[in-house]
Structure 1
Amino acid sequence: MKISLNVLLAGALLLGCNKSKNDESKDGSDKKLLIGATMLSMQNEFIVNVADEMEAKAKELNVELITVDAERSALKQVEQVESFIAQGVDAIIMNPCEVEASSPAVKLAMDAKIPIINVNSETSAKPTAFVGSDDTESARIAMKYIAEKLGGKGNILMMHGFMGQAAQLKRDNGAKEILKANPGLKLFAEQTGEWDRAKAMSLTENWIQSYGNQINAIFAQNDEMGMGAVKALEAAGLKNKVLVVSVDAIPDALQAVKKGSLDATVFQNAKEQGSKAIETAVKAAKKEAFDKEVLIPFQLVTKENVGEFLK
């Protein structure tokens, strides 16, 4: 009888220890913040760079981050945000697929009282905060460089990004603003390459067949498309006659600028966008003070200063 009493006492002690440990782990002070992030497309190198930096910053701040790929579908993106809300995340970061079609996701998060931060691209619905750069400015910088190099005269082709996305709309506006100020520059043709290298290469091949030696410059709204244009021009033996300028300064593009095959790119800071998005989301989730708009400047990259941007 005595032995069984000791056994019972030991069991009770063990239970007590376990209980206090469980209670401790349930304590809110121990809880990691959970952030859900939905990205436009993980097939896009610049977006991957932003996502990588978000991951690194989340780790540094001891935050749990769930990143999903919207695969360029605004509908899928809205569903992903719904899923984050159902999971009870503390904040959401969205890299919007489209200005209008991704907007319902912002409303859903706001209605659920979950802070939502738009990174790199915008929606018409106003989120908790925006972290990115002024896309209009990137196109102004690129087109001013083209105008200067061509002496204000020449035939330009413009390659658009994914139609309806904020970057596409704003880069279109910025480029056309400079074209308007330089009447000697003619916009020969414009079409979407959907931010995609292979599609841009194919589009450039078509343009070469249609316009050939009349082309003086191509402005591609991102580097993926700029690299596709360069490849097609090189294959046709026209690269030395046609200026190509694009936006983002992804590693491939920086190497091409160094080599001289891409004339210029406009540096968009993926690292800053990614880290600031996480920092803003964490502050908003903790109800600390945060900036409602974080704008990171663009910089022109040419052969002269490319060394500063190469790792």
Structure 2
Amino acid sequence: MMKSVTLLSSLVFMAILHMGCNQGSSSEQGQNSEGKKLVVGATMLSMQNEFIVNVADEMEKKANESNVELIVVDAERSPLKQVEQVESFIAQKVDAIILNPCEVEASSPAVTKAMAAKIPIINVNSATSAKPTAFVGSDDVESGRIAMKYIAEKLGGKGNVVMMHGLMGQAAQIQREQGAQEILKQYPNMKLLAHQTAGWDRAKGMALMENWIQSYGNQINAVFAQNDEMGMGAVKALTDAGLKNKVIVVSIDAIPDALQAVKKGTLDATVFQNAQQQGSKAIETAIRIAKGESYEKETLIPFQLVTKENLAKFLN
């Protein structure tokens, strides 16, 4: 009898021990080497920008799933404010920092300061000239090529194009222009009639398009807007002027508004940038680095052209 009780006690003890091990492994994914909950600070370019909000939402979701505390702050398009926010994260001794840079050069001191403080810093969606610990995003040159190639094919290789830039000096603006210019060089009968910044903003995109309509009128054959917000502004201005059916408009990001506009036929195409993967992979990378695990120094998520033909797979 004593033997069976002892055996039973041992089995119960082993079961409890086993349960304890299992529970530990599931909750430990968000813990640092001292067993404390990991804290990640994230500074985002602008929470007025729908795509950036989508990335931040995915980061929140992944952080919650991984039992990580995520502190998200809005840089409000100010690189100076962004650098101060990173200094604040360093003072708080966070385990990792995620930077969604406002500018290539002006946001670089944020990276330098974090690296000097030995806190891993992960750039998400956009680059800086200072090299971070890791980068998660997409190749913006590729998106510019995809958009301009579609325009060139639709115009049969000849016509006048206007290009709306994002915030000047930001990586996406520089690289999307680079990709578009590469394609334009291949089509000598395509002319860049005008190009100017509308700061990633819908209202500014609309105002700029209204100015171009006044200046060039029927000479404009296509618009390449470096993001959907500006593209939607251009569509509104062209529609109001009764010119939309004569002008091709292509933009980048595939935000819900843009997908609906492609469905309606007011926006000819958009280029899908995967906010869900950028957000979740940024958090995954931050956790891996903070825990001293192996990680990818560069995670590139491909862009995809979205037209009426393949729209269904991008609509939720």
Structures share a fold, TM > 0.5? Answer: yes
Structure 1 position 31, deviation (Å): 1.5
Counterpart Cα distance in 2 of 1:179 and 1:270: 28
Q: What is the RMSD computed on CA atoms of the aligned residues?
A: 0.9
- Which residue identity lines up with residue 83 of structure 2 in the other structure? V
2:189 aligned partner: 184
C-alpha distance in 2 between matches for 1:149 and 1:239: 15
Contact 2:33–2:291 under 8 Å retained in 1: no
Secondary structure of 2:128's counterpart equals coil
C-alpha separation between the residues in 2 aligned to 1:163 and 1:63? 34
Distance 1:193 1:306 in 2: 27
Measured against aligned partners, the alpha-carbon deviations of 1:73-102 in whole angstroms (never above 9, x if no partner) come to 000000000000000100000000000000
- TM-fit CA distance, 1:283: 0.4
Partner residue of 1:300? 305
- Measure, in 2, the Cα distance between the counterparts of 1:297 and 1:48: 20
Query: CA deviation digits over 1:37-96, x for unaligned, max 9?
Result: 000000000000000000000000000000000000000000000000000100000000
The partner residue of 2:206 within 201, 204, 217 is 201
* Residue number in structure 2 paired with 1:268: 273
Question: Which residue in the other structure is 1:160 paired with?
Answer: 165
Aligned to 2:240: 235
Aligned to 1:253: 258
Q: Percent identity?
A: 80
In structure 1, what is the Cα distance between the partners aligned to 2:48 and 2:108? 22
Give, in angstroms, the shift of residue 231 of structure 1: 0.3
Q: 1:61 is matched with which residue?
A: 66
**Unpaired stretches in structure 1, ≥5 consecutive residues:** 1-26
Q: Assess if the C-alpha contact under 8 Å between 2:140 and 2:172 holds in 1.
A: yes
Aligned to 1:150: 155
Q: 1:141 aligns with which of 146, 162, 179?
A: 146
- Partners of 1:70 and 1:257 in 2: CA distance: 31
Match of 1:81 in 2: 86
Name segments (4+ residues, structure 1) moved above 2 Å.
Answer: 27-30
- Secondary structure of residue in 2 paired with 1:274: helix
For residues 275 and 69 of structure 2, what CA distance do their matches in structure 1 show? 20
Cα shift at 1:29: 5.2
Q: Following the alignment from structure 1 to structure 2, what is the Cα–Cα distance between the partners of residues 37 and 150?
A: 42
* Alpha-carbon offset, residue 135 of structure 1: 0.1
Query: SS at 1:187's partner residue?
Result: strand
Q: Distance in 2 between matches of 1:297 and 1:281?
A: 21
| Secondary structure of 1:188 counterpart | strand
Residue in structure 1 matched with residue 41 of structure 2 by the alignment: 36
Q: Normalization by structure 1: what TM-score?
A: 0.91
Shift of 1:30: 4.4
What CA distance in whole angstroms lies between the structure 1 residues aligned with 2:94 and 2:121?
11
> Which of 89, 96, 101 is matched with 2:101 structurally?
96
Rounded to whole Å, the distance in 1 between the matches of 2:196 and 2:95 is: 40
Quick one: which amino acid aligns to residue 199 of structure 1? K
Aligned residue pairs, count: 285
Q: What is the match of residue 278 of structure 1?
A: 283
- Separation of aligned partners in 2, 1:30 and 1:143: 51
Distance 2:33 2:281 in 1: 25
What secondary structure does 1:67 align onto? strand
Supply the distance in 2 between the matched residues of 1:193 and 1:242 (Cα, whole angstroms).
19
SS at match of 2:71: strand
Q: Distance in 2 between matches of 1:110 and 1:84?
A: 12
Matches within 5 A, 1:122-133: 122-133=127-138
Q: What is the one-letter code of the residue matched to 1:285?
A: A
| Match in the other structure for 1:210 | 215
Does structure 1 residue 113 correspond to structure 2 residue 118?
yes
When normalised by structure 2's length, the TM-score is 0.89
Write out per-residue CA displacement over residues 254-298 of structure 1, whole angstroms, 9 at most, x where no aligned residue. Answer: 000011000000000000000000000000100100000000000
Matched AA of 2:61: A
